Chains A and B, each alone.
Chain A
């Protein structure tokens, strides 16, 4: 499984616009093949700090998401940020072990 975290620091006056866009995008991202989850979060410390969290079944499904028009729109929305966004990928390879711990 692939976990993707996109951290965004938005201009306060653009927060509404970005949030609207994200709200529109995540529902369609969730419908993409191989998407386990897609959620948009706001930091309680900094209202302009927004995070997008995506979970993908496989690298292939994540790669196809990266090549999708939705992802291009998302990248276009990054123009609303104060500073460049940060994107992190995590590959989780042993879920069984984690289950035991939990």
Chain B
């Protein structure tokens, strides 16, 4: 079919969508033959649509473009310069042929491009790896795996070994100084060949100038173009080794110090443990030795001021309870300092007379001349100096209790008068003839054995019988040993509070000494000893300030004969003068005797200087 050739301008007026393509084609082919026959019919629009799908037009465009790039005039001519119009079949065949040619050309072009690119990449890679090889901080040695000939060496290795390139290149591994141990090098080489890999963590080498260096040697075999090549990486580890050695040394030194310190610590620990156990032992001992003052109320009873738990005290309090509610005269007996006046007060306080005050007269404290007016009162002018009327204690104690303290000291003539009051409840004031009647309960106290006093004629028997209606014997402190801790605590607390001190305990031994002491002065003595101890006590543990001497202390007052007192005094003085009798400081002078008199007394009393004492 013949295709008429329409003008481009006309066809360009056809459908808008194809206009660009046509134009392009036209333009691309520089208004060549292709355009001419593709748009040459009147119904060019339809025809051209059938004949040239967009794909085909694009193909043309592509061919044109490629031919332009490659400057392939022939192709262009083949494609575009067509002298005679062809059938569609012919055209399609021709196009198929063209396509094949085009593909081949394209393939060729691609191959050429790839080759060029490969060459460039190879060049880049070569540069890169060469640079790496040359700047590596490890020595690298490349050798032929078959012959052992060195083919390359990097500058770092050259530098660390101190050889030149020439020394390396073309030579075999074992021909070079550093690897001069030929046998070993060969063995290594053989091993390498065999295993393909060798590694030495610490290989000793020598530089050209004989300096020993340590290297880490890693080498392996690889293939280059079917040819085995060995690459040896040699790392200088001299410094690292030195460091490691130094580290090792430091480590050993540290270990040594640690060991030393451990030994020291162990011994310190041991001594600490010892000290601790000692402390514990001491603490236990202290706890065992010390009796801590504890606040316990179980010791308390209805008698506020009377402390104790002993059977002896219970007995006394039983007696008190029995007699107190009655009007009976009570005689309280007991050694000095046993607290008789407290018992008297307890009786009064438990009696129906408790609302009135207890009146106490100390018969020992008043001279005989005054005691009468003290007890019975006096009228004005009763005797010289009696310029006022005085009410006696009996009158004051009317309706209450009169405590006659130390009744044993009352003069005999007063005893008769007292007997009358006790018997008849009446008396006359001194200087008055008027009889005064009183209601007084008598509680008398004494530290004397009144029966003995009666026998000796120093105390009226009838008065004794009148007084001894209900006797209460207060036991001495030595018979109340179990009460001593309680009393010590009470007195300690009392005086510590007074002095603002903090005393919390007492040594067991001290307490034992206190309990063993016979206490001739009884509770009064204990109180004063505790008071002194508290005053002089420096810490929280009560320490005695006085020495409790049991030997020379009499068990009770008035029990010693004159002879005993004399012997004791002479012995005491002699021990002070170290048995020197004569002289200014001698015992005789001190005792106010002539030395011969003292000797005679000593002979009489059987005082002999002990042989064991220092003679002379």
Contact of B479 among A21, A24, A73, A79 (CB under 8 A): A79
- CB contacts (< 8 Å) of A53 on chain B: these are none
Contact of B311 among A12, A14, A16, A73 (CB under 8 A): A73
B49 at the interface (CB under 8 A from A): no
Asked if A76 contacts B472 (CB within 8 A), the reply is no
Contact A13/B451 with A73-B318, A79-B475 known, Cβ cut-off 8 Å: yes
Q: How far is the CB of A8 from chain B (nearest CB, A)?
A: 13
- CB contacts (< 8 Å) of B450 on chain A: these are 13
B310 at the interface (CB under 8 A from A): yes
A33 at the interface (CB under 8 A from B): no
Contact A14/B314 with A21-B319, A79-B479 known, Cβ cut-off 8 Å: no
Contact A17/B479 with A69-B314, A79-B315 known, Cβ cut-off 8 Å: no
Asked if B318 contacts A21 (CB within 8 A), the reply is yes
Contact A76/B470 with A13-B449, A13-B451, A24-B322 known, Cβ cut-off 8 Å: no
Cα of A20 to Cα of B318 in the assembled complex, Å? 12
- CB contacts (< 8 Å) of A76 on chain B: these are 310-316, 318, 475
Residue-wise, chain B 304-332 has the 8 Å CB interface mask toward A (1 for contact) of: 00000011111110110010000000000
**Which chain A residue has the least Cβ–Cβ distance from B309?**
A72
Q: How far is the CB of A66 from chain B (nearest CB, A)?
A: 12
Q: How far is the CB of B467 from chain A (nearest CB, A)?
A: 12
Q: How far is the CB of A21 from chain B (nearest CB, A)?
A: 7
Asked if B470 contacts A20 (CB within 8 A), the reply is yes
Q: How far is the CB of B335 from chain A (nearest CB, A)?
A: 12
A77 at the interface (CB under 8 A from B): yes
Contact of B451 among A12, A21, A78, A79 (CB under 8 A): A12
- CB contacts (< 8 Å) of A21 on chain B: these are 315, 318-319
Cα of A16 to Cα of B471 in the assembled complex, Å? 8
Q: Which of A40-62 contact B (CB under 8 A)?
A: none
- CB contacts (< 8 Å) of B322 on chain A: these are 24
B44 at the interface (CB under 8 A from A): no
- CB contacts (< 8 Å) of B449 on chain A: these are 13
Which among B312, B315, B316, B470 has the greatest number of chain A C-beta atoms within 10 A?
Answer: B315
A35 at the interface (CB under 8 A from B): no
Asked if A17 contacts B475 (CB within 8 A), the reply is no
A80 at the interface (CB under 8 A from B): yes
Asked if A73 contacts B472 (CB within 8 A), the reply is no
Contact of B468 among A12, A16, A74 (CB under 8 A): A16
Cα of A75 to Cα of B450 in the assembled complex, Å? 24
- CB contacts (< 8 Å) of B470 on chain A: these are 20
Contact of A79 among B318, B468, B471, B473 (CB under 8 A): B473
Which among B316, B471, B475 has the greatest number of chain A C-beta atoms within 10 A?
Answer: B471
Asked if B310 contacts A14 (CB within 8 A), the reply is no
- CB contacts (< 8 Å) of A12 on chain B: these are 451
**Which chain A residue has the least Cβ–Cβ distance from B313?**
A76
- CB contacts (< 8 Å) of A79 on chain B: these are 312, 315, 473, 475, 479
Asked if A77 contacts B315 (CB within 8 A), the reply is yes
- CB contacts (< 8 Å) of B313 on chain A: these are 76
Q: Which of B130-177 contact A (CB under 8 A)?
A: none
Cα of A20 to Cα of B472 in the assembled complex, Å? 10
Cα of A24 to Cα of B470 in the assembled complex, Å? 12
Cα of A14 to Cα of B333 in the assembled complex, Å? 10
Contact of B472 among A17, A24, A72, A75 (CB under 8 A): A17
Q: How far is the CB of B455 from chain A (nearest CB, A)?
A: 10
Cα of A43 to Cα of B473 in the assembled complex, Å? 23
Contact of A14 among B316, B452, B473, B479 (CB under 8 A): B473
Contact A17/B473 with A12-B451, A79-B479 known, Cβ cut-off 8 Å: yes
Cα of A12 to Cα of B468 in the assembled complex, Å? 13
Cα of A76 to Cα of B318 in the assembled complex, Å? 10
Cα of A89 to Cα of B394 in the assembled complex, Å? 52
**Which chain A residue has the least Cβ–Cβ distance from B452?**
A13
- CB contacts (< 8 Å) of B473 on chain A: these are 14, 17, 79-80
Cα of A79 to Cα of B322 in the assembled complex, Å? 18
Cα of A72 to Cα of B451 in the assembled complex, Å? 28
Cα of A73 to Cα of B452 in the assembled complex, Å? 27
Contact A72/B311 with A24-B322, A79-B479 known, Cβ cut-off 8 Å: yes
Residue-wise, chain A 1-32 has the 8 Å CB interface mask toward B (1 for contact) of: 00000000000111011001100100000000
- CB contacts (< 8 Å) of B311 on chain A: these are 72-73, 75-76, 78
Asked if B471 contacts A73 (CB within 8 A), the reply is no
- CB contacts (< 8 Å) of B452 on chain A: these are 13
Cα of A17 to Cα of B318 in the assembled complex, Å? 12
**Which chain A residue has the least Cβ–Cβ distance from B472?**
A17
Q: How far is the CB of A53 from chain B (nearest CB, A)?
A: 20
Q: Which of B446-463 contact A (CB under 8 A)?
A: 449-452
Cα of A17 to Cα of B475 in the assembled complex, Å? 13
Q: How far is the CB of A85 from chain B (nearest CB, A)?
A: 12
- CB contacts (< 8 Å) of B310 on chain A: these are 76
Contact A72/B475 with A13-B451, A20-B470 known, Cβ cut-off 8 Å: no
Cα of A74 to Cα of B313 in the assembled complex, Å? 11
Q: How far is the CB of B126 from chain A (nearest CB, A)?
A: 117
User: Can you identify 8 A-B contacts, CB atoms within 8 angstroms?
Assistant: A13-B450, A14-B471, A14-B473, A17-B319, A17-B471, A17-B472, A76-B312, A79-B475
Residues of chain A having any CB pair with chain B under 8 Å: 12-14, 16-17, 20-21, 24, 69, 72-80
Beyond known contacts A17-B319, A21-B318, A80-B473: 12 more, CB 8 A cutoff: A12-B451, A13-B449, A16-B471, A17-B471, A17-B472, A21-B315, A73-B314, A73-B318, A75-B311, A77-B315, A78-B311, A79-B479
Residues of chain B having any CB pair with chain A under 8 Å: 310-316, 318-319, 322, 449-452, 468, 470-473, 475, 479
**6 tightest CB-CB pairs across the interface, nearest first?**
A76-B315, A76-B311, A13-B451, A75-B311, A73-B318, A79-B475
